[in-house]
Amino acid sequence: MSWRTIECGTPHSPSSGGVCISGVLYYKAADQLLSKASMIVCFDVRSEKYNFVRVRESSIGAVDTTTTLINYKGKLASLMMERSYSFWSSISFDMWVLQDPDKQELSKHTYKFPILSNEVREDTLYSVRVTGTNEIVLFPKYVSDPFYIFYYNLQRKTSRSVEIQGIRGKKVYTFLDHI
């Protein structure tokens, strides 16, 4: 097996954290080497063709370095967590969903859910993932005792926390839907 080059035609600088949905690889990118991300690159693995979603200024948060690209109901979505939790009483996050790639339309939704101050340390919640049942999963980057993972159901707008006991080590790596 050997690698081959596929010509793109549009110079861009990719950033990390892509996602593959139905055979299309999505990732954030900047149009210049040292600038901030301003587009979402869509590479169709079957046709080996590139498409680009140029993000409008009103939705530029969707490609921020702190966002996570996810598969939400078969559509590309980008999640950005609030970085300051008001008195540790709630967490909010914005989610941009790519409604129509051809029209380059992103819709923004904001969600807020409560947390208990004894469930989250000061190092804040780090990572965001989504389960096959469209629950957002939030977890800290570093191990703490006790250690909590948070789930937020987007349809029902309900949240729950799960305490995991006996976890050791320093850093947390997660793999969702692993059997």
- What's the pLDDT tens digit per position in 15-40? 878 899 999 999 999 887 667 778 99
Whether the per-residue pLDDT at 127 is higher than 70: the answer is: no
Of 111, 67, 108, nearest to 90 by C-alpha is: 111
User: How high is the pLDDT of residue 87?
Assistant: 44
Instruction: Evaluate whether residue 103 is within a structural domain.
Output: yes
Range of the domain at 134: 13-164
Considering only CA atoms, give the Rg of the chain. Answer: 18
pTM (two decimals):
0.81
Instruction: Evaluate whether residue 156 is within a structural domain.
Output: yes
Instruction: Evaluate whether residue 123 is within a structural domain.
Output: yes
Of 71, 70, 66, nearest to 81 by C-alpha is: 66
Tell me how far apart the terminal alpha carbons of the chain are, to the nearest angstrom: 30
User: How high is the pLDDT of residue 13?
Assistant: 87
Residue 154 maps to which CATH number? 2.40.128
Q: Are strands 68-72 and 125-130 parallel, antiparallel or unpaired?
A: unpaired
Whether the per-residue pLDDT at 75 is higher than 90: the answer is: yes
How many domains does one find in the chain? 1
